[in-house]
Chain A
Amino acid sequence: MKQKKQLIKGNHAIGKAAIEAGCNFYAGYPITPQNELTEYMAKHMRLNKRPFVQAESEVSAINMVFGAGAGDARAMTSSSSPGVSLKQEGISYIAGAELPCVIVNMVRGGPGLGNIAGAQSDYFQSTRGGGHGDYRLIVFGPNSVQELYDFTMKAFDYADKYRMPVMILGDGYLGQMMESYIPHKYEPIKNLPKKKWALTGCKGRKKNIVKTLYLTPENALEEHNLKLNEKYKKIQKEIQMYEKANADDGEIIVVSYGTASRVVKNVIEFFNKNSKKKIGMFRPISLWPFPATALRNLKCKKFLVVEMSMGQMIEDVKLALFGKKDVTVNLIKRPGGMIPTEDEIKDKIEKMIG
């Protein structure tokens, strides 16, 4: 039966998807603008007879997720920027120990306490690892409530498949907005490996050890890092998600993700209707791995990056285009919880057309 459209709040959509995808451990802590998710989980995990913990801090929550993930749980935690900063040490350990978990970051303006409006200023933190050590997270940057729902389900699968933390990088606006979405049945990706490494009691088998300390021999940690790197390379081949429009023959390509890309979409439609010039867009959905090859393969010479930060994704765009001749990359930046307006993007594009 085809499901009908429903209206739901972004934060609730994540909670609903998590529960449908079999999330059986959630730990959270209050922070605006993601409280509705914690509250949703408080109610619905209980209704589904699954554990919900309101931890005493974000640090505690991520370490509970560390523990639950080391067992065989599908564990999730959520927070917003300052809280996710607190989680970073735990995330580094989880990545180092190769455990699965899902982390939701409903980004708000920073640095410090900042404000409670949505922003995209945690792009570096999320896509570069965030904590100490050489590691990566799989990071998704959805731009609608539907995608929050879809990618939360996918996140649990990817976490289990690759044994690593997966982050949903939303923002305050996506978390707070109500929008229509179409619910669907959760279908796991095929051939998910069994969790033979999990701490479930070792009677009848060799004991499992979860650790991130590698002291001996001298090159043990190097070997571990190289092994992790092999995994990351494999993921870079397997996950390359993006959306594009008019991108193959556009005179200017606007690159943006998340909330900013919703504004860009309207601008592209405006130019489609009202201008002879063809303006295209490119929207990375997997922020790590960044869909660099797809971006590099575009013929266009003029790029405009639109971000709700001082310009962070622009570095990945420049890396993707590195060495290409006569390519220019411009930037529209609105930090501190501000959203770029359609008019300012239009003006910039018109200037670039010349």
Chain B
Amino acid sequence: MQGYLSLLKIKRLPTTWCPGCGNGLVIKALIQVMESNNLNKKNTVIVSGIGCVGRTTGYLKLDSIHTLHGRAIPVAEGIKTANPKLNVFVVSGDGDLLAIGGNHLLHASRRKTNIKVICVNNRIYGMTGGQASPATPKKTVTTTTPKGNEFEEINTQAIVTSNKNFFARSTVFHLDHLKKMIKKSLENKDFSFIEVISNCYPGYGKKLGFTSNYEMLMDFKKKFENQKNKSILKKNELGFLK
């Protein structure tokens, strides 16, 4: 197993995240890929938006920028366009990237800017206490949908792939797969979007009847399967489209 301490700010631990949160797993996977692919302090910048996942930038020993709510993608585009040699990662959540940042996602994917967007999708606004996000499934009870969410969840995959960009789906349970997907995205020179399904027990899982973060991870194990056809990626499948 590779270490992942070189880029982690050990002094800042423990993180502000709840025990069992998937965000830590995403950091681990990201750092391990960075180490194996020679992405380092010299050539890599990390960008995040607002929300729980947005705090990621603070735990990495890389030049990082904590941006406005929803605006991580345009800030990343600015960095990449002005300095194309840099590898630019965006790490943020579903509320940030898909709701308030939805328009920017649309246009960055149209421009095909070579940035890697890692969207940690816990299907809820975790930091503000569990409001519905665009990724919250229909009928889910949240603090802003007390009688169940009346809308369908957003189809991010369709948005990203409509411009023939790289889209991958993984979960925080399938760490090796997640690393593979991040590596795959590095081969791609266009806009890349990796949706990482994550767990938020206090904000989301609790209301669905789960009793712990562990149970939520086990649920990912049960629900998701590997992609069967290279040209199709179903909602419950792990894999990528290019």
Are A38 and B102 in touch, CB under 8 angstroms? no
Are B100 and A29 in touch, CB under 8 angstroms? yes
Q: Does chain A have a CB within 8 A of B127?
A: yes
Q: Does chain A have a CB within 8 A of B143?
A: yes
Are B50 and A30 in touch, CB under 8 angstroms? no
Residue of A32, A39, A59 with highest tally of chain B CB at under 10 A: A39
Q: Does chain B have a CB within 8 A of A46?
A: yes
Q: Using a CB-CB cutoff of 8 Å, which residues 40-59 of chain A contact chain B?
A: 42-43, 46, 52, 54, 56-59
Q: Using a CB-CB cutoff of 8 Å, which residues 97-139 of chain B contact chain A?
A: 99-100, 102, 125, 127-129, 131-132, 134
Are A54 and B100 in touch, CB under 8 angstroms? no
Q: Does chain A have a CB within 8 A of B164?
A: no
The chain B residue with its CB closest to the CB of A60 is B100
Are A43 and B100 in touch, CB under 8 angstroms? no
Are A56 and B144 in touch, CB under 8 angstroms? no
CA distance A39 to B146 in the complex (A): 9
Are A39 and B100 in touch, CB under 8 angstroms? no
Selected from A32, A82, A113, the residue in CB contact (under 8 A) with B66 is: A113
Q: Using a CB-CB cutoff of 8 Å, which residues 3-45 of chain A contact chain B?
A: 29-32, 35, 38-39, 42-43
The chain A residue with its CB closest to the CB of B154 is A56
Residues of A within 8 A of B99 (CB): 29, 56-57
Are A39 and B70 in touch, CB under 8 angstroms? no
Selected from A31, A38, A57, the residue in CB contact (under 8 A) with B144 is: A38
Residues of A within 8 A of B68 (CB): 82, 112-113
Selected from B100, B125, B128, B146, the residue in CB contact (under 8 A) with A57 is: B100
Are B131 and A39 in touch, CB under 8 angstroms? yes
Are A30 and B146 in touch, CB under 8 angstroms? no
Are B132 and A31 in touch, CB under 8 angstroms? no
Residues of A within 8 A of B242 (CB): none
Are A30 and B131 in touch, CB under 8 angstroms? yes
The chain A residue with its CB closest to the CB of B142 is A42
Are B132 and A32 in touch, CB under 8 angstroms? no
Q: Does chain A have a CB within 8 A of B69?
A: yes
Selected from A31, A42, A43, A52, the residue in CB contact (under 8 A) with B128 is: A31
CB of B227, distance to nearest CB on chain A (Å): 29
Are A56 and B131 in touch, CB under 8 angstroms? no
- With A30-B128, A32-B128, A54-B132 in contact, is A42–B102 under 8 Å at CB? no
CA distance A113 to B132 in the complex (A): 22
Q: Does chain A have a CB within 8 A of B95?
A: yes
CA distance A39 to B95 in the complex (A): 16
CA distance A312 to B163 in the complex (A): 49
CB of A108, distance to nearest CB on chain B (Å): 12
Residue of A29, A30, A82, A112 with highest tally of chain B CB at under 10 A: A30
CB of A9, distance to nearest CB on chain B (Å): 13
Are B143 and A39 in touch, CB under 8 angstroms? yes
CA distance A59 to B146 in the complex (A): 24
Are A30 and B145 in touch, CB under 8 angstroms? no
Are A32 and B131 in touch, CB under 8 angstroms? no
CA distance A43 to B70 in the complex (A): 26
Are B100 and A42 in touch, CB under 8 angstroms? no
Q: Does chain A have a CB within 8 A of B147?
A: yes
CA distance A52 to B132 in the complex (A): 13
Selected from A38, A57, A58, A59, the residue in CB contact (under 8 A) with B131 is: A38
Are A30 and B95 in touch, CB under 8 angstroms? yes
Are B125 and A30 in touch, CB under 8 angstroms? yes
Are B146 and A56 in touch, CB under 8 angstroms? no
CA distance A31 to B131 in the complex (A): 10
Are B50 and A54 in touch, CB under 8 angstroms? no
CA distance A332 to B78 in the complex (A): 41
CA distance A324 to B125 in the complex (A): 53
Q: A30-B129, A35-B129 are in contact. List 5 more A-B contacts (CB 8 A).
A: A38-B144, A54-B145, A56-B102, A82-B69, A113-B68
Query: Nearest 6 A-B pairs (CB), nearest first?
Result: A57-B100, A30-B128, A42-B144, A56-B99, A30-B131, A39-B143
> Would you give 30 A-B contacts (Cβ < 8 Å), ordered by A?
A29-B100, A30-B125, A30-B128, A31-B128, A32-B129, A35-B128, A35-B143, A38-B131, A38-B144, A39-B129, A39-B131, A39-B143, A39-B144, A42-B143, A42-B144, A42-B145, A43-B146, A46-B146, A54-B131, A54-B144, A56-B100, A56-B102, A56-B134, A58-B100, A59-B100, A82-B68, A112-B68, A113-B50, A113-B66, A113-B68
